[in-house]
A and B are shown apart, each in its own frame.
Chain A
Amino acid sequence: MKIIILGAGQVGGNLAEQLANEANDITVVDTDAEHLRELGERLDIRTVTGHASFPAILRQAGADDADMLVAVTNSDEINMIACQVAHTLFRTPTKIARVRATQYLTRADLFAPDALPIDVLISPEQVVTHHIKRLIEHPGTLQVMDFADGKAQLVCVRAHYGGLLVGQQLRQLREHLPNADIRVAAIFRRDRPIIPTGDTVIEVDDEVFFIAARHRIREMMSELRSVEVGYQRVVIAGGGQVGERLAEAIESHCQVKIIEMNPARCRHLSGTLDSTLVLHGSASDRELLIEENIDQADLFIAVTNDDDANIMSSLLAKRLGVRKVMALINNPAYLDLMQGGAIDIAISPQLATLSVLLTHVRRGDVVSVHSLRRGAAEAIEAIAHGDKQSSKVVGRTINDIRLPPGATIGAIIRDEEVLLVDDELVIASGDHVVLFVVDKKHIPAVERLFQVGLTFF
């Protein structure tokens, strides 16, 4: 697939890296020649230096026959104009743009095909806020991903002492929760994937990925670790876009305090938020944290735009006695370093944004894609189409499907219902199939599986 990426910033660079490894034809456009050269040396991509929304630059980048345009420059306006130019001059089929400013996002009819022709809008702040919100809804989880509009969720949990299933074989799960349609999709032990079978024994510190209907998640959590009470008192460090949206989303059912450095921003927050307490100061100010009873807080979330500040303030908060800390970390190197250590959950905005982007890059009828474990693994929700002749999945039992190694089917969602996956289940056309792929290199094989053969047409 020919993809043009506008903007070689963190999201653009990361996306280029992910996609270049999958044998796509990637062109990256940016104004910073130095940065492009460095990226071009590292990855197998083409680079074009120039202003991303100029028609000449887009043509030079190969807009004439590109399949997709991903506009992720720093400027909302450039992103939107670039999509307009690509649509009008080059008839680019799929156009994805990152739009940060909420003011643009309030009016859906703005992005109609005859107005601003953008197929997919990505607001990283919105994605990250949503991500954190789900983590707050399910305390104890490392990551929660929605499938089929949230009917089924894929949950990542670290197993702990106190979980009923810890130290036991997976097949015991059936005895513990006889009616639950829960499936363990994968286990990562010391960063290595294990394909779970009935004999697999869950050990302490395993990262367990399981798929279940939303209301079953709490039961399953108690199998893997002692049950956690919900987060009631939340401290948010950083009152930027993410901090503000997050506070807005949870202030109705949590006691929220938000710490922000900029006095003008503080006044804005204080004006827009209802019950949230806005504090002016630094999140790494020990006295301030102590004065605001940080030791009684359940959750500390650092969401400033500075990795270092997020990490240091989270570490400080943890030391001062907060129950759980989350930190937003952009730098992938830090991400691996901090996750699971003193910081309970490290959140990567790029990975969250990337998942959304990947959904549209994947071939076949893919509804959603979630990038897992820093992009090493992927969970894909795809819709099966066709019949027994044209499709490689429809009309077959799960046993018959020739899945590539490292891929498992986690769940089938048929007519709003999450089905228990057993080997004899026959997949019908229209089923949503949730697959879990522990190794990225098999993703093209999975994509092929869900592409309908030519005979179908």
Chain B
Amino acid sequence: MHFAALGRILGMLLMLFSLTQVPPLLIALYDGGEASYSFSLALSITLLTGLCIWYPLRNRREELRVRDGYVLTASFWFVLASFGAMPFYLSLRPEMSLVDSIFEAFSGLSTTGATVLTGIDSLPRAILYYRQQLQWLGGMGIVVLAVAIMPMLGVGGMQLYRSEIPGPVKDNKLSPRIADTAKTLWIIYCGLTVLCALAYAIAGMSWFDAIGHSFSTIAIGGFSTHDASIGYFDSVAIELIAVFFMVLSGMNFGLHFLALRSRSLKAYFKDPECMAFVKILGTTVLITFIVLVLYNHYNNPMLTLRHALFQVVSVASTTGFSVTDFSGWPSFLPYLLLYTAFIGACAGSTGGGMKVMRIMLLFRQGQREIQRLLHPNGVFMVKLGKRTVPDRVIEAVWGFSAVYLLTFFVLMMALLACELDPITAFSTLASCMNNLGPALGDASLHYAELPSSAKLILSFAMILGRLEVFSLLILFTPAFWRY
């Protein structure tokens, strides 16, 4: 382990991160100075801490190994999220406890979108902007994590995408390649954000809302600057724009890169995962629409379709915006939506969940078992499109799902021990681990009522889900730290 080099990078990251508190500080000053105190204090503390860590280690340039990569990705989220909680804790309005601040910051940076805040509309704009920006920064990290780092580490079958990492392949060393890839991805990421913000503004949002919502849309976060989320605007155009960009951000960013480079949409249609994602969304929208119409929940087919489309895409892509309270939907619908969040978005996107690719492989593997029972001598390959998937990947995916479920059960027990009722425990955990946001039961509106212990467990679950379980759990194994 190269602690010195890791410390150097972390210190640099902290200093960079402190700069991100400049825009909210400017907004605070522009708006008359409220909350400017908390941001300037947070900025100085973060900057100083970073400097203190970085300065003594500034000359320790060492090539990072794969193991260092795990430590770095985990500490990126834990350390940045902890420092990111500072402005919330320091601010006077809203007045937040330490646990609430941490929860809010973790939720933001992991692009979950679960909130403990109420009365959001009346909060200072600086705080509102800061929340949106946290998600956007988290999304930036995730894109690189999901497209460049995870495939390289091969976490949970992600080595399948190793060959599809955009950018030049001239260098086999970890860091230069990641750096090149990151640049390309961030250009796409920023481009999408700008487009999304423009579209929102044209559709009638104020510039502040447009930029804020574009941040949380492209990051698949789900924070909003209003209590009623996207429902506040009550505009079909805005909802359609949100749906469009949520679907786009739920796709593999490697595909966006391919499509951009070849200037054709063929890459999307040829990608089996992308098509499966769209099909899953379509089917869920259809089922939801039919059930809502059967129960006559909205008395209006057009409104039903509108709500079904938006809410399904929002939950299934693990964004978590809302236009209506889906926890009040009839029959099995609230659970159907939560389960689609388990499937989540495509691998290599900013979305959460177990990822469409893994679910497809699990499903194909199930089919393969049935075929094997029918034809004991048969040789069957799991295929994605025309490509044969190596058995190693299937094993990794199985391992991933087993660990995912096991962790889920353990954390669920822990939540029940915090005296949450089963529905709340299940739905909040599902929501946080899949980086979704909204939940059912006591947390159907916000997470403020939950006990502090539950909030900490859920914060941990968010990072766990974000880091694809393995890359975090690996740090808890003794073998990792052994020589």
Contact = CB atoms under 8 A, between A and B. Distances in A.
B376 A291 contact: yes
B377 A271 contact: no
B379 A266 contact: yes
B375 A279 contact: yes
> What's the interface size class on B, roughly?
under 10
B293 to A, nearest CB: 38
Interface in B191-206: none
Nearest to A285: B377
Contact of A281 (B377, B380, B381, B383): B377
Contact of A271 (B376, B378, B388): B388
Interface residues of A, number: 15
Interface in B340-388: 375-381, 383, 388
A278 B376 contact: no
B318 to A, nearest CB: 33
A416 interface: no
Contacts, number: 33
B380 A270 contact: yes
B381 A270 contact: yes
Interface in A252-293: 260, 263, 266-267, 269-271, 277-281, 288, 291-292
Task: Identify which of B378, B379, B381, B388 gathers the most chain A CB atoms within 10 Å of its CB.
Answer: B379
Contacts of A280: 377-379
B377 A288 contact: yes
Interface in A177-214: none
B377 A291 contact: yes
A281 B378 CA distance: 9
A275 to B, nearest CB: 11
Nearest to A259: B377
A266 B375 CA distance: 14
Contacts of A271: 381, 383, 388
B226 to A, nearest CB: 51
Contacts of B379: 260, 263, 266-267, 269-270, 278-280
Nearest to B388: A271
Contacts of B380: 270, 278
B143 to A, nearest CB: 31
Interface string A279-310: 11100000010011000000000000000000
Contacts of B378: 277-280
B381 A279 contact: no
Contact of A279 (B377, B383, B388): B377
A49 B380 CA distance: 47
B472 to A, nearest CB: 34
Contacts of A269: 379
Contacts of A267: 379, 381, 388
Interface in B383-421: 383, 388
Contacts of A270: 379-381, 388
Contacts of A278: 378-380
A211 B381 CA distance: 45
A277 B376 CA distance: 12
A255 to B, nearest CB: 13
B272 to A, nearest CB: 13
Contacts of A281: 377
A269 B379 CA distance: 9
Contacts of B381: 267, 270-271
A34 B266 CA distance: 59
Contacts of B375: 277, 279, 291-292
Nearest to A292: B375
A101 to B, nearest CB: 21
Contacts of B388: 267, 270-271
A266 B378 CA distance: 9
A432 B381 CA distance: 49
A292 B380 CA distance: 15
Task: Identify which of B376, B381, B388 gathers the most chain A CB atoms within 10 Å of its CB.
Answer: B381
Nearest to B371: A277
Contacts of A263: 379
A260 B375 CA distance: 14
Contacts of A291: 375-377
Task: Identify which of B376, B377, B381 gathers the most chain A CB atoms within 10 Å of its CB.
Answer: B377
A278 B372 CA distance: 11
A292 B376 CA distance: 10
Contacts of A260: 379
A237 to B, nearest CB: 13
B368 to A, nearest CB: 10
A419 B378 CA distance: 50
A2 to B, nearest CB: 48
Given A278-B379, A281-B377, A291-B375, 11 more contacts: A263-B379, A267-B379, A267-B388, A270-B379, A270-B380, A271-B381, A279-B379, A288-B377, A291-B377, A292-B375, A292-B377
6 contacts: A266-B379, A267-B381, A279-B379, A280-B377, A288-B377, A291-B376
Interface of A: 260, 263, 266-267, 269-271, 277-281, 288, 291-292
Chain A to chain B: the 8 pairs with minimum beta-carbon distance, closest first: A271-B388, A266-B379, A270-B381, A278-B379, A279-B377, A281-B377, A270-B379, A271-B381
